[in-house]
Structure 1
Amino acid sequence: MADPAVLDALLRQLDRRQFDLVSVSSVRAARSVVPADPSTALILLDCVLADGDAPALADLIEQHDGPPVVMFSSQAETVADRVRWLDVGADDFVPWPASPAELVARIRSVLRRHGPEPRLAPLQTLSAGELVVDMLGLRVSVGGQPVRLTSLEFQLLAYLMCHPGEAVTREALLCDVWGYHTGPTATVTVHVRRLREKLEPDPLHPIYIRTIWGVGYRFEADVVEGRSERARR
């Protein structure tokens, strides 16, 4: 992957979702890792690499019956470029910039097509600084002190924390949390305000749930997912 900033952002998002990662930044380094390592389940490959031709590397991996390849480009690309990369053996191409949710969904889709996806234990906790959400016990605490939330408030908080750093529209929240495909979004605004009053040190200057004017909301803090180590492979 050519751009260190892009690499760092991707690694953070995938690590949060419990993927075991090995990263390299050049074609030369990639050739020494894959397809020689049989434990590699999938390769996420930037089409723009400083020391070589990434599509040629994807073709080489396919020739050696290597793992599936999901390609993206950290720079602008044309339709002809995307067709070429798919033709040389990429299993999918992700337009960039892509949301973390879309990227993970595409990776899991490719893994399903090529064999069983590594099993994950049920999500146990979500934590961001002093905020801890117990997904199994349906409990929330801030600084070790329990916070009482309604069922909808809990679901809304969990949803936002499962999409950290993403700008989520009120319409998407109304659909995914409330289950309403249409309707007024004022109830979303009210529930976010109540969450802030219960969770934020200063609700007028939130550090967790930020308003994205004209769009919706974004969970701002880094989120750590807690799962049982026994189910990770």
Structure 2
Amino acid sequence: MIDSRILVVDDDPDIRHLICIHLEEGDMICTEARSGKEALELLELESFDLVILDLMMDDTDGLHVLEHVRSCQNHTPIIIVSALSETEKKIKTLGLGADDYITKPFIPSELVARVLANIRRSRSPQTRITANRLQYRGIILNLDSLTIEKEGKRYSITQTECDVLAAFMRKPGYTYTKDELYQAVWNHAQYDPNSLSVYINFLRKKIEANPKMPRYIQTIRGIGYRFAEVKER
């Protein structure tokens, strides 16, 4: 998107240069940070539309940067770009509030597509302006404060968890294919199926009495997921 400001955080100058070349071809404005410490300093001074963050850096690792940003209630989209491909690492970073995860080596055009999709999603009037609360069968989703209320308890969630649950709550009873759900939330077709299942599991732990036997977010084998029209007991 024209004039979108992107912070690229990586201790490898060649990677930073490669990313910035392709983003700037799309008329985005790049600021480079060589370390986690420098990234945190820049985030204190300036606002960005998105952050691209490496995990393994010498001074301050990317997880620390991610945790610090989210602890400050900064909801700027963050895409992790890392050579670490283990599922456990992806689960941890997504759980800490990352919006997307791309493994090195990556295809530059795919990274650009994901950057654009995450910026569009963060600016979407559907989730940010037209309504600040969704309510269904005892679940209240607060879109502005990124919280879920259920049975007198309140849970903090990430922006991505919020967007996934909002998609379900707007269409109770509808069965989403995985492609449809990913398109509804991330706005692009390329996805990591593990990432989607991670967010589903996070949400189930917050809204289901028994996450292993979900009543709300149901898996429809061979198709995808459905937010069931749960009957009151």
TM-score using structure 2 length? 0.46
Q: Which has the larger radius of gyration?
A: 1
Higher RCO (CA 8 Å, separation ≥ 6 residues):
1
TM-score using structure 1 length? 0.46
